[in-house]
Each structure stands twice: as structure tokens, then as C-alpha cells.
Structure 1
Amino acid sequence: MADLFDTAPPSDPAPPAGVRPLADRIRPARLSEVIGQTKVLGPDGPLGAMLGAGSLSSLILWGPPGVGKTTIARLLADETDLAFVQISAIFTGVPDLRKVFEAARLRRTQGRATLLFVDEIHRFNKAQQDSFLPHMEDGTILLVGATTENPSFELNAALMSRAQVVVLERLSLADLELLAQRAERELGRKLPLDAKARDALLEMADGDGRAALNLIEQVAAWKLAGKIDPDTLAQRLNKRAAKYDKSGDEHFNLISALHKSVRGSDPDAALYWLARMLEGGEDPRYLARRITRMAIEDIGLADPAAARHCLDAWALYERLGSPEGELALGQAVIYLALAPKSNAGYAAYKNARAEAKRTGSLMPPAHILNAPTKMMKNQGYGEGYAYDHDATDGFSGQNYFPDGLKRPVLYVPVERGFERELKRRLDWFVSQRLKRGG
């Protein structure tokens, strides 16, 4: 269900009839009325199971805006007969927290526990988060925190260990349609939209129930004859910008989706995620860098031209700027998605780093060391070195690893793209080395 506005505390006077926002007027009175979040609230979901067992623990509600965090917290308090207290981490300091805890302690002596709902809990610093711990442990408060950020990054371990994280999902189009029908019942009339315009309106909400109700309230106020079509709707409403935090979870989620779509050889999906990031305002230079890294990690020597193609696209973007230069990035993404894939070079490099760390003090074999001084020659530097250009087929088969180190196999090419040819060459060198005892 939509996180239908943060309502004023119960002690505040209610706004006059007709002034209350639509979202507030249709706020659910019971958890069974919440639209969406059935995975969480159903009998097999974490909250449904807790309520069924009659035992509610501290919670962190993690999800995007407008999916029901405040509503669910308030209804949990109602259904467990807890006093509901709501604060926002943005506007609450340490002195305010002390007052909240003291009031909860007093309330507890009077026989009633407190559900403390903390909106934007990730905005509290570590010390502020720590201040909740003793009051959670002695039962003074049952904490329900709400956050749009990944709790494992934003909340400290002590708080996380005392609260269960519950993940809320963005509302589906079917959920938003149910919300629209509920709004129409409250308004007493149907929205003046044709079928395509209605779908377009719900898509504009982008899974945010609060945003959907705001849009519905705007449309319901229009005085237009006949049904509104998608073009008229688009002219009268500004499309909401897609939710995208360039420094938060969405940033990392979307670049991961782009990378894995390239790795999975799906150019359409890769282009979609690239476009999502660009539409969200991502720096194209960041994308150019990450795309180039994909060429090294996932295509590698199966197509040596891939990295060059990405560097050219990067240079083209620097020359052309936006929006023209973004087309070059799009073409690079298509090229990478359709290129033969190999991480053999990437894996070989990681293997080499691990081997170097393990054997980092071993000297190179003396025969491949230069001997610019007489003393070094006397110590055997360069003695027995075979100049490969003088050998048959330009290959001497000598050992180049430290003496006494069992020869490791670091690079294992795949049978794809140009790397198939590299594997053929490598297999020949290995066979010759075995023949010559190297």
C-alpha cells in the first residue's frame, strides 16, 4: 500500500473536511486493507507470522518511497495496542530523543508499551543510533525504523542485530489500479480518463502509491468535457522523474544490472539499463569508464577490439558531449553485449596477484638476469640464457619462474572468439615446453 503521507500526531486537530488530502482520506484503518506488500503481510510473511504468533519485535522497514512504511507502522501499533509515537531523523536531535525515551518510560510504568516509528532512520549518526539500544533491550520502546537506503550500509551492526529487516517492494501496476479504484470510491466518481490514459497515469507514479494519489487528485480536479487521452494527459501533467540516487543504492543496483546484462549477451536489456541511468542524470563519463572495465573483465582477449571500441566511444563522448555523445556509449554497450565473452584474462590476472603475494620473496632464475658487472657474472647471472629468436620456431622453452617454484597455470583461455586462436598457440607452447623439458 502507498505510504500515504505522514499524518500529524493524534493530538493535532484534524484539517477541515474537504481540505484533507485524498491520500489521508483513504488511508487504511486495518492491515487487511493495505494494498500491496502481501509477501510481508500475508500469513507466511514476516509481519503476518509475528502478528499470528502474538509477538512483535523491533523492525527496519526498507523500501522505496510511497510503499506503505508509515502506514504499516501505524497499523502495527493499532493491532498490538501499543502507543504510537512518530519522529523523523531529519528533525530530531539528541535532546528530543531523550524526551521521547523519558515519555516512553513513563508510559511503560502506566502499563502501556510504545512503538516508536523513526522515519529516515538512516540519517541518524552512529552515536544517535546507539542511543536506542538500551531502551530497546529493556522494553521501553519497540523500534520501527523506515529507510529508503540499504540498512546494511547505513545502520550500525548493534542496531541491526536487535531489529529484523523487512523489505517492502514498489507497488505493481495492478496494486496502483486497486488504489485508483479506492480513490474513485472516495471521490464518488470515475476518473475522466480513457483506458490508455489511465494506464499512462499509473505508469507515471513509478510504483509510488503516494505519487499515484497525488496525480489522481490533480486529474479529478480538471473540468474537461469527455474522456482525457494520453496526449492531453501528458500535456497537463509533468512526468515524474525516475527515482535515481546517484550516490545511493539505486546507482549501484542499476550499474550492476547493466554489467550483468552485457555479460549475459542481452543488448536490449543492456541498452535499457544504460538509458535508465542516463535518464536519471548519471554522469556519462562514469558510464564510459564502467563500460570500458566491462570490456576488460568480461570480453577480454576473446575480442581484443572491444576495449578499443569502448575507448573510442569514450573519446567520442568527450568530443560531442550530451546528448549526441551518449549514442556512442549506446553503440559500445551493444558491441560488448554481442561480443564473445571470456573472463580468462581477468581470472589469470587475479591468479597471478595471488601467486605473487604467496611467493613474493623468490628471486627470478639467474639465467634470465642481466649481468652488467663482473661480480654479477661471477654469480652466474645470465649464464645459460637462450635467446629465443635464435631457437627453432622462435621458442626456447626455458623456465622463467623462480627456481624451485612449481610452475602454476594462471591463464586458461576459452574456446570463444579470438581467444580460441590464443588457446591454440598456448597449447603448442605447452607441448613444446614438455618436449624440451622446460
Structure 2
Amino acid sequence: MGIFGAMTTAISGLTSQSFALENISGNIANSRTTGFKRVDTSFADLVPDMPPRRELSGSVGAFSRNTTTVQGDIAASQIGTNMAITGEGFFAVRQRTGDAGGQPVFSGASLYTRRGDFEVDRNGYLVNGTGNYLMGYQVDPTTGAITGSQLNVIRIPSSNLAARASTTIEYEANLPKYPLTANANASTPGSELLTPANDLAAVPAAQETNFLNETIAGQSVTVYDAAGSPINVQMRWGKTSNAAPETWSMFYLSDSNAVGPATKWTRISNTVQFNAAGQLTSPATGVINTPFTVDGVTTGAINLTFGTTGLTQFADPNGQLNPNRITQDGYPTGTLQDINVADGGRIMGSYSNGQTVPLAQVAIAEFPAANLLKRNDGGIFEQTLESGQPLINSGGDGIIGASLENSNADIADEFSKMIVTQQAYSANTRVVTTAQSMLQDVINIIR
């Protein structure tokens, strides 16, 4: 081998260092590319088969080493549909291959990326900056449960959120032990009570004044029927007994336009009871199931839920109902206003009716040997035999919404590697120059 071997070895060094410089150049060029994973260079010695004590150090070969498992910095984003993965894993995506009937057609093979700059396109699909479409699972907006096990390209529905009829009113409040009604007089025992003459299942409009003078306001709540029509339910309370157990009756305004003998207020219950400690004893379940008919519009059966501790009767100098929480579970129809990604990869839709509901679940793909995936353009990785099969799961804590993963290439580190590479390249050129000089000396001997 001799001088010629030294020259060919030096040339392999030049080739390897050039390969390393090309990787460094690509890393620096993509130092600001979202989700980019730098490519490092590994060197391996290539030793010829020689007898003992005649071994040569050999030439060198350069190989790429992926860093797909090395996390880039996570930066906040002002776009709600942007997302980043912490830890291992990839977004599953598909590429668009064409159009049919104005809708995109996707390739059959799934690809994988860490680039999470997804935004909603005009068709409702989530597509990132390199044109790849996000995959995941559809979610039932009512229950929040994932529907089906098949991974599909996520499409955000543009339809209105269906109205939901109210089924429960959660009513938590304190009724005063001594209600300060209009008729209440501390010097007249029982003047604060609702008299039997006004404690009727149906209070006529002609009797309303007396009824109002013997009851206190019970707040109001807006409920919804199956079509999403709002129904305002105004309630009042009247205490009917101070003897143990102390008893109250509850009413609601059923016809605001009623006159004369027509029913204006309807009794919900006349058996709401409390013990001496002010704790609710009846209804024992803390629930009254009843429909409401207000101005001719009737709801379905609604559970008026006090709970076992939500409704109390403690002394209150104000003498009025003190509400703690009065809510219901219905809502009218609404149009989609905004989309964002909650932590865990749940895609949420905000609607004009004030509801925020889950629309889809982003999936994460993990590989046994992620660094052995094949790199493609646009931050895309492709499954290989060496990488193993992907394990698909829902995002869990691995996805952060309104965030992006930056490139894991550090410019300062790449410049350091570039200096070392340049020095190694220059040293190899010196070997070639020296070998050439030695060959010239040999030629001069012959002359």
C-alpha cells in the first residue's frame, strides 16, 4: 500500500469530512425550522485484512445519525391549533394526493412528524406548514368519548352544535329560618308563614298579591326545551310550618299573563322539610322531578336537585334566600366560533352559545427504534423495517396546545462542529500534499 494507500486513506477522510460538513450545513439552515431534527455524523474506521503486526489504521467512512428522540425547546404560540409533543412520539399525518368533488383525497399510508404548526383549512381539516394533514379520533361532543378505534384524518365539523334540553337544575341556597316576607311582623307569631289559603297547587292571578306578601323570592333560572328555546323559570318560597319538621312550599311563575281566576303560580312541592339543625330531611333524595310549563311552553321532566346538603335553613338576619349556586345543564343551538387544542391533545370547539365541547382527539405514534425512521421532505418520517411498527395511542399528557417544538439544532454547537470538521479536512489535504511530495522524490531518484 505505502504512499498510494496513505493518499487513498486521506481522500476517504476528505470525503467523510465533506459529508459531515454537509450535515452541519443542513442543521444550520434548519435551525429555525419547526420540529426539525438535526442529523449528526458518525465515523467508522475501515480496516483492510492484514496479517498480525502488519495491520493498518485504515480509511474512514461517514454515516448519518438521526436525533429524532432529542427534544427541541417548546415555545408558546398565539395560534390555538398549534401543538407540540413533549417526550417521545410523533403526530400521525397523511399527504394529499388530489381532489374529488371539491374535497381532498389522501394517500393510504400514514406518515409521521413532529411539526405541529397545524391550522384549519377551508374544508375543516388540520394541515401543517408543509401540507400534511393531521390524524386522530373523532369524539362525541355530548359525552366526550372517542367514537371508534380507526385512525382517520381529523375534520372539524362546521355544523351548528345541537341544542340540549335541560334535564337538571342544581339548586344550592340557604332559606332563612325566619323569612322576612311583606307580612312578617316580629310581634305577631306566624305572620311570616304562608297561610293555607295561599298555599295552593295553582295560585290564581286574582290571589297573587296576597301570595307575594307571604313568600320570598327564590331566584330564577333559564332552562331550555328540546328545540333550544329558552324558558325563564322564576321561583318563590313560602314557609308553612315552624313546628318540627319545619316545612316550606316552592312555586314557579307558570303564566305571566294570567288574569282573574287563571293560574299564575304553580306549586312545585309543599313538603320541603328541615330538622332543628337546619338540615334538609325531605325530599330524602334531595331531588324533585318535575316538568315546567311557562307561558304555554312545556319542558321535559327536570330534576330539581338540592343534594343532601345543598339546601339549608339557617338563621339569616336578611330574611331572604341566599343563593350559593343555581345552574342547569341545557343550552340552545350554537355556531362554531373558535378552535383550540387543550393539553392532552383534545381538540375543543367554542360555540356562540357559550359551550366548549370536544371535537376530536389527536393521536401519538411511538416506535421501538424512532431514530431508524426514514427521513422525507417537510419534517416527515416514514416507517421502516428497522424502526418497527408504530404504537398508536391518544395524546395524554404528551401534547401541549398553543405551543410549537423548535428545531433541536443549536447554532453554537453546529459552529463548533464546523470548526473541528474544517481542521480535520485541512489535515487530510496535508496528507495528500505530503504523499504527492514523497512520490515526486521517488520519481527524482529514477532521474
- With the shorter chain as reference, the TM-score category is under 0.3
The structure with the largest helix share of the pair is: 1
**Larger C-alpha radius of gyration, 1 or 2?**
2
TM-score normalised by L of structure 2: 0.21
Q: Which has the larger strand fraction?
A: 2
TM-score with structure 1 setting the length: 0.21
